[in-house]
Amino acid sequence: MPFNGPIIIAAAGIGSRLGQGRPKALLNIGGRTVIERLLTGCLKDEKDIRIVVGFQEQDLIDHVKEIRRDVIYVRNPDYRDGSTRRSFALAAQAVKQPLIMMDGDLLVAADSWRAFADRAAKVSAQGASSAERSLIGVTPVNSTDAVFVRTSGEGAEMKVEGFTRKEPQKYEWASIACLDSSAFTANTNYVFECLEPYLPLPAFSLNIAEIDTPADLAAAQEWLKKNGG
């Protein structure tokens, strides 16, 4: 079953750390772009998809229209400030129900996504507060510029206890979460910083590859080989 709310994809940034001169969502990996892999893979059954665009926005919009015609686009004219939180805040401002947010530079295994979305649907429907309606995606550390996640518990009992860039941990922030739209109102650059006042929060381990640097791109190509790319 599709998630019962919007899926917001942040794809407005320049991707300066990768240095390709193109939005990371338009990177061609194994014959298909990252955004195509998302839309035709893990998100193919989702009904409400909204993409935040900025850098080379028309190129991205034209490409996505070749894949799906029902996507909603949200412009972020301030994309050069590097704030992913700003992108999500723009897309979430008219949303009243919980949503799933994700970065547009991810490869996500379809079965992993389905398990996450199913649990997110249950959490968002049953929680009484913003924190109780949240589910934070984590993944075993696999990127070169990780935001590490301090966790407690395992499996269904796992919780995010904190974020750190300095202390290596087993997991890193997966740049995917189910949240209330109110989570993006804090004046921060990064989404994980918005979450810190609400910790601890339920966590879910996802099978993903995130592409921020040239080394991440090489690792993502290997990830595709292992995950049916």
**In degrees rounded to 5, what are phi and psi of residue 48?**
-120, 95
Q: What pLDDT is stored for residue 229 in this prediction?
A: 62
Which residues lie closer than 8 Å to 200 by C-beta, 6 or more apart?
152, 159, 160, 161
Q: What percent of the chain has pLDDT over 90?
A: 79
Give tens-digit pLDDT for 176-187.
999 998 888 878
Count of Cβ atoms closer than 10 Å to residue 177 Cβ: 28
DSSP state of 107: E
- For the entire predicted model, the pTM comes to 0.95
pLDDT greater than 80 at residue 17: no
Q: What pLDDT is stored for residue 27 in this prediction?
A: 94
The span from the CA of 207 to the CA of 118, in Å, is: 15
Residue ranges of domains in the chain, CATH in brackets: 7-226 (3.90.550.10)
The span from the CA of 229 to the CA of 222, in Å, is: 9
* Per-residue confidence band for 209, with pLDDT thresholds at 50, 70 and 90: very high
